[in-house]
Structure 1
Amino acid sequence: MNPSRTLFARLFTVSLGAIVLAHGLTYLWILHYRIPPPPRLGITDQTLDPAQALEASSHYVLVWPKAMLAFQGLALVGIAWYVSRSLTRPLKRFSRAAERLGHDLDSAPLEETGGIEARQVAKRLNHMQQAIRDQVDMRRRMLGAVSHDLRTPLSRLKLRLMLLDDPALVADMSNDIEAIVRVLDATQHYLHDKPPG
């Protein structure tokens, strides 16, 4: 499976793209409008040296917005990663449960935890597992009953064959009956052997 095509990768890429775009536009807005420096309390414009004013202005306009954007960007990337991971975690859990169900029908049911949608999917998956298990059990019981019921008439046919005088006909019919019994034995063996898990 290509990791870039997973739901997590797509959600994370879209979230990251939105974050980068928003920050880029914010940075361009700050550069274009040049936010004025904050007023210094207790100092009037007449006593402030122009060099100090330029330094304060450049520090406020160029350093603080960049630091703010960097911190905000890192925080949003972390949040996007966490949200994308938490959204795709139930899907991974369902995938593992479906794979386990394909190998073993008697595996433990899936825990019905998480959000409303996740609990509904888990409940339906457990219901499907129980329905498949019931169908397989019903099929085994039906085939077992048919196999058992066919043995009685076959035994009677064997007894009646002993009363016939034609040895060739008796041999042919005995071979046919033995073939049917072998099929029934194979069916019983299949029904009582658990499939490999």
Structure 2
Amino acid sequence: MGHRELIESLREAGAADLRAIQEQSAAAAAAVEADCAVRIAGLRRQYALDQEMAVAAERGRVIATAQGKGALIRLEAESLLAERLFRLAQEALARLRQDTPSLFEALAAELPSCRWETVRVNPADRELAAAAFPEAQIEAEAGIHGGMVAVAPGGRIRVDNTLEKRLERAWPQLLPRLVQAIAPEE
């Protein structure tokens, strides 16, 4: 084998080795690319899941905040409504006394048997009170719309049987019914 043949043989062997190395590196590069593509797809899926979870968490926080604010607004509105209804009910007490002439006698009959020293009534009921409680000192009080406040000697017994006190006592049961009648929930 001559010099040229040896060089040619070495070139062919080098070219074959080069092709083999190129094929191996192309295969390795393809494997790395495939692995990278799988990892990138996994990262994209994880990112999408993380993003969905973050969005859901933020949505939950926003909804909770909105519900809390809505509840506060509703409570404030209900409180204002309750105050307004109570004022209207108080204003209606005077009409109730005027529309029900026997109301004073009925309320006076509910008082326990006692010698009453002082009886406070609406100025319009002064004569009725004097007839119902002849031994008592009758005091007129414009703030009483109906009924009476009776006090025994020495203040030992005090009975507030006014329309105002009855409204005050019944209000916790009346208010929900009034609200339901005004704005029934859907």
For Structure 1 versus Structure 2, the TM-score category normalised by the shorter chain is 0.3 to 0.5
Higher strand fraction: Structure 1 or Structure 2? 2
1 or 2 for the larger relative contact order (CA 8 Å, sep ≥6)? 1
Task: Give TM-score, length-normalised by structure 1.
Answer: 0.39
Task: Give TM-score, length-normalised by structure 2.
Answer: 0.41
Higher helix fraction: Structure 1 or Structure 2? 1
Choose 1 or 2 for highest CA Rg.
2
